[in-house]
């Protein structure tokens, strides 16, 4: 067994609060994962792919000499200079200039969609829209709880920017802990005078599913601009479709189906 692998794996785990959280998010048994950390066992091909996908490295890189591996990560995580950002920011600013106002959407929402990682279960998360200097930002918090104890076992936070382009609301979000994934969501706007729900389609590449690209319907339920976030966070999690925590009709509304004669997955206008 390459001894550098265990050292590099321990180094990567140091970016997370605990080994237990890494195991839960990667989907590998803690006892088995400890064997990899000790250097006594090498993961199977499938588990190696899971580990590398989760940490955003290749199998060849995770086997590098430890010093070389840490230098590689330091280069990847180094802050970009303002000059280096001129190119990408030019495109981003062009999009912002074309974007219309999203002021009426500022506030908090429950976000509902069928989980990419837990088949048949619905994720209920808490999304917030905010604005600053005419730019619009989003933060989405997901909490996965143990079914029996209700204790939080996984917390995911996604940060993003929002645009109103071509009569559609666009969200571009990234997972803020490792910065190794980006998702795109497109919503229909709210046509009523007061916002109740808005629907759309989102993409994802979950760690527990081998990072296979996927898409799903998604619904936002408007909560208002003045809420108790702690109280709202207690009501999010992973639910069965029939659970009382999921409002009536939501499970059917976010169900993912391609109807006869349809050749791409799309969401109809509400």
DSSP-derived pairing of the beta strands 135-145 and 168-175: unpaired
Alpha carbon distance 140, 128 (integer Å)? 7
Say if CB 99 and CB 93 are below 8 A apart.
no
Question: pLDDT of 57-101, one tens digit each?
Answer: 888 889 998 888 888 887 776 666 667 677 878 888 889 889 999
Domain co-membership, 107 together with 66: no
Domain co-membership, 102 together with 21: no
Domain co-membership, 249 together with 136: yes
Q: For residue 147, what pLDDT is reported?
A: 66
Alpha carbon distance 118, 116 (integer Å)? 6
Range of the domain at 205: 87-253
In a domain, residue 259? The reply is no
- The tokens of 68 are what? 């070389």
In a domain, residue 264? The reply is no
In a domain, residue 265? The reply is no
Domain stops at, among 33, 56, 77: 77
Domain stops at, among 24, 43, 77: 77
Domain co-membership, 65 together with 191: no
Alpha carbon distance 128, 76 (integer Å)? 29
Alpha carbon distance 104, 195 (integer Å)? 8
Domain co-membership, 93 together with 213: yes
Q: Hey, what long-range contacts does 1-5 have (CB within 8 A, 24 or more apart)? A: 1/39, 1/40, 1/41, 1/42, 2/42, 2/63, 3/39, 4/63, 4/64, 4/65, 4/66, 4/69, 5/36, 5/39, 5/42, 5/62, 5/63
Alpha carbon distance 184, 199 (integer Å)? 14
Q: For residue 82, what pLDDT is reported?
A: 67
Domain co-membership, 246 together with 138: yes
Domain co-membership, 92 together with 198: yes
Domain co-membership, 185 together with 208: yes
Q: For residue 21, what pLDDT is reported?
A: 84
Q: For residue 183, what pLDDT is reported?
A: 92
Residuewise pLDDT in 10s, the chain (270 residues): 557 899 999 989 888 888 888 888 888 989 999 999 988 888 998 889 889 888 888 888 899 988 888 888 877 766 666 676 778 788 888 898 899 999 999 999 999 999 988 889 999 999 999 998 889 999 999 988 876 777 777 788 999 999 999 999 999 999 887 777 889 999 999 988 889 999 999 998 876 667 788 999 999 999 999 999 999 999 999 999 999 999 999 999 999 988 888 899 888 887
Q: For residue 175, what pLDDT is reported?
A: 85
In a domain, residue 35? The reply is yes
Q: For residue 127, what pLDDT is reported?
A: 97
- Residue 31's CATH number: 1.10.260.40
In a domain, residue 221? The reply is yes
Domain co-membership, 171 together with 230: yes
The total number of structural domains in the chain stands at: 2
Domain co-membership, 152 together with 208: yes
In a domain, residue 82? The reply is no
Domain stops at, among 28, 48, 77: 77
The alpha-carbon radius of gyration of the chain (Å, integer) is 20
In a domain, residue 192? The reply is yes
- Residue 116's CATH number: 2.40.128
């Amino acid at each position: 067994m390459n001894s550098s692998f265990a050292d590099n794996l321990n180094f990567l785990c140091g970016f997370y609060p605990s080994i237990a959280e890494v195991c839960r998010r990667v989907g590998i048994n803690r006892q088995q994962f400890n064997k990899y950390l000790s250097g006594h066992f090498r993961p199977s091909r499938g588990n190696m792919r899971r580990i590398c996908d989760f940490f955003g490295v290749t199998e060849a890189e995770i086997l590098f000499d430890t010093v070389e591996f840490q230098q590689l990560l330091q280069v990847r995580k180094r802050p970009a200079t303002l000059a280096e950002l001129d190119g990408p920011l030019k495109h981003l600013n062009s999009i912002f200039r074309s974007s219309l106002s999203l002021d009426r959407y500022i506030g908090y929402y429950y976000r509902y969609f069928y989980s990419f990682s837990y088949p048949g279960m619905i994720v209920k998360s808490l999304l917030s829209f905010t604005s600053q200097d005419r730019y619009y930002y989003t933060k989405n918090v997901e909490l996965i709880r143990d079914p029996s104890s209700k204790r939080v076992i996984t917390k995911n936070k996604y940060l993003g920017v929002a645009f109103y382009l071509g009569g559609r609301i666009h969200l571009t979000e990234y997972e803020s802990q490792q910065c190794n994934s980006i998702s795109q969501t497109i919503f229909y706007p709210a046509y009523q005078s007061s916002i109740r729900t808005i629907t759309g389609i989102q993409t994802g590449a979950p760690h527990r599913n081998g990072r296979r690209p996927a898409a799903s319907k998604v619904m936002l339920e408007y909560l208002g601009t003045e809420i108790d976030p702690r109280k709202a966070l207690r009501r999010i999690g992973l639910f069965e479709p029939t659970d009382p925590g999921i409002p009536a009709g939501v499970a059917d509304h976010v169900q993912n189906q391609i109807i006869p004669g349809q050749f791409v997955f799309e969401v109809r206008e509400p």
